[in-house]
Amino acid sequence: MRPTLELENVSRHFGGVPAVDGLSLSVPAGQITGLIGPNGAGKTTVVNLITGLLHLTSGRVLLDGNDVSRAEAPELARAGVARTFQNIRLLPDASVLDNVLSGFHRHERVGLWANLLGLPSARIETAHLKEEAMQLVERFGMTNLAKHRAGGLSYGHQRRIEVMRALAMKPRLILLDEPVAGMNDAEAESLSSIFRSVAAEGVALLLIEHNMRFVMSLCSHLYVVAAGRLIAQGDPQKVSSDPIVVQAYLGS
Amino acid sequence: MMNFFYTYQSLFDHILVNALLAMSQYVVLRAGVFSLGSAGFAALGAYCTAILITAQAWPPVAAIAAGTVLGTTASALLALPLARLRGVFQAVATLAFVQIVLSATQNWESLTHGALGINGIPHVAGTATLLGVVVVVVLLLVTMGRFGLGRAMDVIREDEMVAVSLGISVPYIQRFAFILSGALAGMAGGLHATSSYAITPNDYGFGLLVAALAMVVLGGRTSVWGALVGAVVLISLPELFRVFADYRNVVQGILLMTVIIYLPRGVADTLISMLRDRRLRHEVVPEKP
């Protein structure tokens, strides 16, 4: 079976400086793949390239075998590519529920006029999506916070809302950009069990982290980048004992 | 009671017309378009309505409808180049549009009578009509905010990067908001012409542009109520404090600055979120460990 996402020799230069340089990787469905590397390695650039926020200098990105190298961000989102942001980007004044609801956009089928006039089709759709959103909120243990302002909640809660919004898209591929940064171990553990269950549903997950310990327990395959280049890959045990990886992380 | 009403009837009409204009400004701001075009669309609507009634003897209702259509058409055309611009550049482009409309009303004398304006417009839009229109528009905009379209607009306004990552087509939604804004402003213009006997280019100049923006900033940008509250406050305050008539602009400026500094989200939005927080505190449930 083809992997959900494939990067073939992908490069991105900023004014001649390569942020990502000849990177190839694949993210299969039903698994959690890790992309790790020290700060400034180009991890977030990779996410922005895959989601169409940035465009490639060279190489190809394939989504289920289709070339999406030139696709714009909204097209990719509609094709089922979801992401979370490293620096949390929520609607701070909207409620938790409304933040999650915004993730359902790609599944909304009701037209502008039905929305404007409040026709029954729009009412039914929103009622239905609210139910689904509440189920998500419940799965993340935040039912009693559903009506609260997202901006007033703790860091850990806000990260969870980001993940909920991405899951609301019912994506085929999720890019998680440091989803547990700033969380304590218990919070991170509850989130990783959710990631495992999402993978079990057949979704492809790409986890971007620099927290080695968290990645080790969760990922089936790891890619290590440093200065925009792939320096190692393989199963977590093998990668963590690779001297090149140790050197990149600890310096020489 | 009725005496009070008759004394302030024209003020009340004025508030209602301005509320429509404020809602036209609110719609674009809600969708994250920094448009200043409402005053220009209102001028088009007003002049179209006034000319059709006085020179062509159209029935007033048809003339107001034509004014609304003209505002809609102009905004639909302007939306095309505007979609390529962002933020402050949208503001500059729409400002230029207002200037073009304004100089047309001043200089196309055969059609608009220049600075003299158009007189003798029948007063057909009474308080009841205006109130009815405002209520319908408020209902429409409240409804719009409750479903997917309103959610998409909120995301675009707050964070365009998130919007595109969720698959929202930013140009499509912004174009819709801009055209809706043009329609509302065109209608506001038509109703203004038919509720004030005479119009001159000065009615739709820089002052109106600032007023439209000020009403929304004063009231609040995220709910329709903000536009309404802004219109009531900004239009009625100078009338109630007539003793300060000479300092009208100064009072208005101080009021705006105070609100921007102390209630940056606007009067209505701040109140609404305070009420929401209070309600939540009352029904708070201890969190599960």
pLDDT in tens, A61-98: 999 999 999 999 999 999 999 999 999 999 998 999 99
Decide: B205 and B212 in contact? Cβ < 8 Å: no
Whole-prediction pTM: 0.90
The answer to whether the Cα torsion of B175, B91, B183, B103 is positive or negative is negative
DSSP state of A12: E
What are the residue ranges in chain B where pLDDT is below 70? 1-2, 4-5, 245, 283-289
Say whether residue B177 is in contact with chain A using an 8 A CB cutoff.
no
What residue of A is the nearest CA neighbor of B284?
A144
**Cα distance between residue B107 and residue B122, in whole Å:** 24
Q: Would you place residue A137 in the very low, low, confident or very high pLDDT band (cuts 50, 70, 90)?
A: very high
Q: How far is B144 from chain A (nearest CA, A)?
A: 4
Burial class (CB in 10 A: 0-12, 13-18, 19+), B219: buried
Q: How far is B285 from chain A (nearest CA, A)?
A: 6
**Cα distance between residue B153 and residue B165, in whole Å:** 14
Q: Would you place residue A183 in the very low, low, confident or very high pLDDT band (cuts 50, 70, 90)?
A: confident
Residue B32's pLDDT is: 92
- Contacting residues of A for B222, CB less than 8 Å apart: 93
Contact A72 B164 (CB under 8 A): yes
Candidates A72, A92, A141; nearest CB to B288? A141
CA angle A36, A39, A43 (to 5 degrees): 50
- Residues 99-158 of chain B whose Cβ lies under 8 A from any Cβ of chain A: 140, 143-144, 146-152, 154-155, 158
pLDDT at A176 over 70: yes
- In a mutational test of the A interface, the residue from B151, B277, B278 whose CB has the highest number of chain A CBs within 10 Å is B151
- B180 to A214, B20, B49, B225, B277: CA distances (angstroms): 50, 12, 19, 18, 32
Residue A187's pLDDT is: 86
Candidates B144, B165, B168; nearest CB to A116? B144
Alpha helices in chain B (DSSP H): 2-7, 9-30, 38-54, 60-82, 87-107, 109-112, 127-146, 148-158, 160-165, 170-193, 206-219, 224-240, 248-262, 267-282
The one-letter amino acid code at B286 reads P
More confident residue, A181 or A137: A137
Residue B112's pLDDT is: 84
Residue A252's pLDDT is: 47
Residue B272's pLDDT is: 85
Decide: B213 and B95 in contact? Cβ < 8 Å: no
Contact A112 B288 (CB under 8 A): no
More confident residue, B90 or A40: B90
Q: How far is A94 from chain B (nearest CA, A)?
A: 9
Say whether residue B170 is in contact with chain A using an 8 A CB cutoff.
yes
Output phi, psi for B101, to 5 deg.
-60, -40
What residue of A is the nearest CA neighbor of B139?
A117
Interface contacts A/B by beta carbons within 8 Å: 103
**CB count in 10 Å sphere of residue A179:** 26
- Contacting residues of B for A74, CB less than 8 Å apart: 164, 167-170
Tell me the residues of A at the B interface, defined by beta carbons under 8 Å apart. 51-53, 72-75, 77-78, 82-83, 85, 89, 91-94, 98, 101-106, 108, 110, 112, 115-118, 122-123, 125-126, 141, 144-145, 147-149, 165, 169
Contact A122 B161 (CB under 8 A): no
Residue A250's pLDDT is: 65
ipTM above 0.85, yes or no: yes
